[in-house]
Amino acid sequence: MAALVLTGPAQAAGPAYVALGDSYSAGNGAGNYISSSGNCHRSNSAYPALWAGAHSPSSFTFAACSGAVTSDVTGSQLGGLNSSTGLVTVTIGGNDAGFSDVITTCVTGSDSTCVNRVNTAEAFVRNTLPGRLDTVYNAIHAKAPNARVVVLGYPDMYTLNVFCIGMSATKHQKIDEAADVLDSTTASVAAAHGFVFGDVRSTFKGHELCSGDDYLHSLVISPSWESYHPTATGHSAGYLPVLNAND
């Protein structure tokens, strides 16, 4: 699905902005979807669109797409990048690590099955994902050498040590551990490329699932693809402040 490109007035002060990545950047779960984005599920309430609305960039290319893995970014999302690009944001790596399958396994399986699946994902993140991130980050820099690149992470899913109906405390802790491994690995690779890492775990803290003031969806029956993704508030109060602090 083609990226959405908006061009602002010539006198606009904001930098040309390109938003790359997966469903956490596209806005799965935020509602207010852009019909022309189809299965990419881009949302006008996602943090890239909110940032663009507030900063009037000279152009805005919204290329993030639901389900994207690292090879999708390099293969189909970089067309909007050039030497005039001033800001690039990206969330990527969760799907490479099998985020959806991890959640499904933990929802439907035993504690031990969940733990084993998360351990497999963590090994992938530590051993294989860094090379894939290197490829993405090198490609971004090659096409947009003058851009400030902000790599945004993923929130922890659960508030721990509180009563919560659903999955066990063991599963909650293990899923959060996986998010922490993913974030720490991503932060390290981003730093090696001179990119900024935006850690959203701080803004989501106290607003994870089971908090009573959730910025995330739990299991959604319809549409199921919104499950375990940030709500509109998760984008406006979770992701956007971190981008604003690092843009």
Instruction: Please identify every residue annotated as catalytic.
Output: 23, 229
| Distance from C-alpha of 45 to C-alpha of 101, rounded to nearest angstrom | 26
Give Cα separations from 25 to 10, 31, 45, 198, 221 (angstroms): 26, 13, 10, 13, 22
Per DSSP, what are the bridge partners of residue 149? 88
* Helix (DSSP H) and strand (DSSP E) numbers for the chain: 10, 6
44 contacts 37 by C-beta, under 8 angstroms: no
Neighbours of 113 (CB within 10 A): 13
